[in-house]
Every structure is written in structure tokens, then in C-alpha cells.
Amino acid sequence: MLLADSAQVADRKLFVLGGGTTVIGPRPQPMAVAIRIEVPWDRANVPHDWRLELLDEDGRPVMAGERPLLVAGRFEAGRPAGIRPGTPLSVPLAINFPALPVTGGCSYTWQLSIDEATHFDWRASFYVKP
């Protein structure tokens, strides 16, 4: 996972602008989360549910109005023709936000989960200037 100013997916590749963001603000600004999921060969052609949620520094969901700020979807990695057996399959995701409901002087974390499981490495944190 990588935080950036913006990101997009084209031809199964991630294109990132302003990657490596760790500090934003204090004014509202766009932010993107660029994710490359590596799917094991034996998990090809199996649907997987993903969820990306913004958490505050206490680990609570950040609210956008009355709802938690989260994005969810489903992916399924197919095996391209001619790929060597055993090669991990890459699934790129780019999620862009126009602005976030965050408070200056606080830290936040984007937490990714796949099939309701998560891992320490599946998160990216940032700080908002006061």
C-alpha cells in the first residue's frame, strides 16, 4: 500500500502521482491509496472480498457523516496466457478521495482487509498538520 496525491490503474499497472505521502494538510486535499495485491498461483480464479477503512489514532473508524469511511469491493485474479506456473498474480487497485473528514494534529491509518483477514503490513498511516 502506498499513499499518494492521486493514482490510477491502466493495463494492470499502477500509475502514482506524489507517492509516499505521510503528512497532509492542514487544508483539505485529495488523497489516493494505491494497492498491489499479490495473489498466490493456487488462489487464481477465486473471488476475494476487500475492504479499505480509515481509522483514527485510537483505532476507531473515521465517520463521514453517519457512516464509517470505507471502500469495499471484490476481485478475482485470472491467469494470463503464457505465464509460468507458480508465478504470483498481481491485482492493482487505486482508490482516490477528493478530501477526507480529518482533524489537524491527528494521525490516521488506512487498513486493508481481504476476506475479513488483515495483516500489519496491510496498512498505511499519515499525519494531518495542525
| Average confidence score pLDDT of the chain | 96
Segment 50-79 shows an average pLDDT of 96
Lookup: cell for 124: 498505511
- Which one of 1.10.3470, 2.60.40, 3.40.50, 1.10.260 gives the CATH number of domain 2-128? 2.60.40
Lookup: cell for 25: 494538510
Query: So what's the pLDDT on residue 80?
Result: 87
Quote the pTM value. Answer: 0.92
Q: How confident is the model at residue 30 (pLDDT cuts 50, 70, 90)?
A: very high
Cβ(39)–Cβ(74) under 8 Å? Answer: no
Segment 53-64 shows an average pLDDT of 97
| Residues 44, 89: Cα–Cα separation, whole Å | 8
Segment 13-18 shows an average pLDDT of 97
